[in-house]
Amino acid sequence: MISRTGEMTDTLKITNLHVNVADKPILKGVDLEIVRGETHALMGPNGSGKSTLGLAIMGHPGYEITSGSVELNGEDILEKDADERARSGVFMAFQRPVAIPGVKMADFLRHAATNIRRPDRKEGEDLIPMREFRKELREKMGQLKMDTEFARRYVNDGFSGGEMKRAEILQMAMLKPKFAILDETDSGLDVDAVKLASQSIAEIGREKMGILIITHHDKLLEHNIPDKTHVILGGRIVETGGPELAQELHQHGYDRIRAAHPEAAAEDDKMKVEAAAAG
């Protein structure tokens, strides 16, 4: 896509995406297009497929794409492994990131940042120089009001909910992706922490990212006014609007949406029953 100033703008385009998890269809034809620099909100009831969309875009091996495409600037990234997707500029802040005991945040981030900035780097090749990296890391941690001690802790090991989320935002700040998916980065945070997260994301996003914010609330959107708000129900996007749609859903819930889209609502109920049966 060509922007008004005439330069090429990066685009993440999801077309008719169908995804199975453990052989059960979860996404049933999702279309979504994000232009770099835009902020989109993705909302929907629990179990409607929000996280699934993020994990499928990122390339989680447990999420099987049965049809459709995910294109970055016209190139389908579905054949790529997660590391190649990351190196091409896609990032996801996870809702529940796993712990990697024994691996220090600083070492992990230095490897990650080097790989993302030098996508052709082979294993074993030089990393970003230590001084340069430390300076940048300290700066970013300062912005996120994180103690420098944090860099010496093991990745997500024994982190509180709030620490995990801040660590994810720190990674986004260090890796400077073209597109970032934030999966419920506000869940489990208190009011002040959500505010800080919201401000930080806005600040980082100013470096021109395309952002997809998956959320239940409008708090994270306070500093990140969505250009578009999408509502997912029963594995499909059923409505797209502006920031007022996010506000409506936060205040009034999904009753109007369910009533307006009875088929998707029935699909949603069916998925919930199946999920409950699966345990």
Partner 1 sequence: MITDTKTDSNFDVSTAEINKYDFRNEEKYIFKARKGLDEQIVHQISDMKSEPDWMRDYRLSSLKIFNQKAMPKWGGAIDLDFQDIYYYIKPSDQQGRSWEDVPEDIKRTFDRLGIPEAEKKFLAGVKAQYESEVVYGSLREDLAKKGVIFTDTDTAVREHPDLVRQYFSTVIPNTDNKFAALNSAVWSGGSFIYVPPGVSIEFPLQAYFRINAENMGQFERTLIVVDEGAQIHYVEGCTAPMYSTESLHSAVVEIIVKKHARCRYTTIQNWANNIYNLVTKRAVAYEDATMEWVDGNLGSKLTMKYPAVYMMEPGARGEILSIAFSSAGQHQDAGAKVVHAAPNTTSQIISKSISKNGGRSSYRGLVKVEDGARKSKSNVVCDALILDPQSRSDTYPYIEIAEQDVTIGHEASVSRIGEEQLFYLMSRGMSEAEASTMIVNGFIEPLVKELPMEYAVEMNRLIELQMEGSVG
Residues that bind partner 1 (CB under 8 A): 58-62, 81-83, 85-87, 91-92, 94, 97-98, 100-103, 108, 111-112, 115-116, 119, 123-124, 154-155, 171, 175
| Token representation of residue 231 | 């509502």
Q: How far is the CB of 234 from partner 1 (least distance, A)?
A: 26
Q: How far is the CB of 107 from partner 1 (least distance, A)?
A: 8
Cβ distance to partner 1 smaller for residue 10 or 218: 10
Q: How many CB atoms lie within 10 A of CB 82?
A: 14
Q: Are 105 and 150 in contact (CB under 8 A)?
A: yes
Count Cα neighbours of 53 within 13 Å in the Cβ-side half-sphere. 38
Calpha distance 279→275 (Å, rounded): 6
Cβ distance to partner 1 smaller for residue 133 or 154: 154
Phi-psi region of 111 (alpha: psi -120 to 50; beta: other; left: phi over 0): alpha
Q: Are 226 and 242 in contact (CB under 8 A)?
A: yes
Count Cα neighbours of 7 within 13 Å in the Cβ-side half-sphere. 6
Cβ distance to partner 1 smaller for residue 87 or 228: 87
What interhelical angle do 161-175 and 191-205 show, nearest 10? 10
Calpha distance 65→82 (Å, rounded): 14
Q: How many CB atoms lie within 10 A of CB 24?
A: 11
Cβ distance to partner 1 smaller for residue 32 or 58: 58
DSSP letter assigned to residue 200: H
Q: How far is the CB of 236 from partner 1 (least distance, A)?
A: 25
Q: How far is the CB of 258 from partner 1 (least distance, A)?
A: 33
CA–centroid distance for 78 within its chain: 17
DSSP letter assigned to residue 3: -
Q: How far is the CB of 123 from partner 1 (least distance, A)?
A: 5
Cβ distance to partner 1 smaller for residue 97 or 241: 97
Cβ distance to partner 1 smaller for residue 92 or 238: 92
Cβ distance to partner 1 smaller for residue 87 or 236: 87
Q: How far is the CB of 157 from partner 1 (least distance, A)?
A: 9
Q: How far is the CB of 153 from partner 1 (least distance, A)?
A: 12
Q: Select from 172, 219, 229 the least CA-distant residue to 196.
A: 219
